[in-house]
Amino acid sequence: MATADRRAPLEIAGETITAGARRRVDIPVSLLSNHTGMSLSIEVFHGKSDGPVMFVSGAVHGDEIIGVEIIRRLAREPALKHLAGTLLLIPIVNAYGFISNSRYLPDRRDLNRSFPGSATGSLASQLAHIFMREVVARSSIGIDLHSGAVHRSNLPQIRARLDDEGLRSLAASFGAPIVLNADFRDGSLRQAAQEEGCSMLLYEAGEALRFDEQAIRIGVRGALNVMHSLGMTPRGRISSKHAAVFSAASKWVRAPIGGIMRSARTLGHYVTEGELLATISDPFGAVEEPVRAVTAGLIIGRSNLPIVNRGDALFHLAQIVDPAVIGDMINSLESELDEEALVDGFSIV
């Protein structure tokens, strides 16, 4: 019978982690102007038996904090005691943005447009390079956790290249309400990882600088379901009773004028083409301009800010084949999550 010492140890950032061990590794990145050290911190779970190497990352955009809580809960899951393979948890990739409540690095660069990076480039480029070298190059699969921007919320969703059948299957196993086909963006972690031979799922849910309990639970459960599908854990979390809903395309509805917006629809609503989504008025009420759906679809993203300017992105609509299915899926998820036990016994309210 195989024993723990027969599986090769993991070498990462100059440290050796034996099979069956769990260790936090802090990789130095740079010093702040006041001489405070900044690092990329990774929680490593090196299972006793062979299996895939998977990473889960959060706060690539420093203000998208929902991934930090998802990873905190994931690290406490009992299922990880029986891990096959290796799990790398990176709750805060962009520590600079995280401590300043900002999406960006100090020089205003977007880390998720700086991959694969360079050892001698900008701070964003150097951080991207370290992440690629120490995390992505070791992994065969990754889940990157994101949220909407400031004042913008996203319905829990998985984004991936759905022409990859293996990735499509993993995306379905995650259990989010909807899976959206998404092309690569230049400089993104997902594109750079794919070129390195590491397939990725991108989870979008909630709003920047805010926690959303339902979105957090879906994220934790989804990561565990993917691990189970890969044979890394003996079981996942509760699986949805409905098959995944896929969308091949999506469109944004933008503000026709500037003014004060009053929304008539919210996340998770399916709307028909031409349906009223909101009304924009001037502050005196003399002007009333309707905002209507440019296509039939499910609202997967929306602005939460009533003050709008002409051209602002207000509602994100995902086109789906069977609108009846999505309502059942969302209702089923809400019911399952309400019944699900929490690892540490309480939720965020």
The tens digit of pLDDT for each residue in 276-286 reads: 999 999 999 99
Residue-level length of the chain: 349
Closest CA to 65 of 16, 95, 98, 38: 98
- Please compute the mean of the pLDDT values over residues 163-178 and round it to a whole number: 95
pLDDT for the residue 38? 96
Number of H helices, E strands in the chain: 7, 19
pLDDT for the residue 3? 47
The span from the CA of 113 to the CA of 70, in Å, is 23
The span from the CA of 135 to the CA of 116, in Å, is 12
pLDDT for the residue 2? 43
For 65-90, the pLDDT digits (tens) are 999 999 999 999 999 999 999 999 99
pLDDT for the residue 310? 98
Closest CA to 334 of 201, 160, 212: 212
For 207-258, the pLDDT digits (tens) are 999 999 999 999 999 999 999 999 999 976 666 666 789 999 999 999 999 9
The span from the CA of 200 to the CA of 184, in Å, is 11
Predicted confidence band at 205 (pLDDT cuts at 50, 70, 90)? very high
Describe the strand order of the beta sheet including 259-263 as a list of residue ranges: 288-292, 276-281, 259-263, 307-308
pLDDT for the residue 323? 78
- Please compute the mean of the pLDDT values over residues 310-337 and round it to a whole number: 85
Give percent above pLDDT 90 in the chain.
87
pLDDT for the residue 6? 76
Q: Is the dihedral of CA 161, 164, 165, 171 positive or negative?
A: negative
- Cβ-defined contacts of 70-74 (< 8 Å, 24+): 70/145, 70/216, 70/219, 70/220, 70/223, 71/43, 71/145, 73/216, 73/220, 73/342, 73/343, 73/344, 74/220, 74/223, 74/224
Neighbours of 61 (CB within 10 A): 22
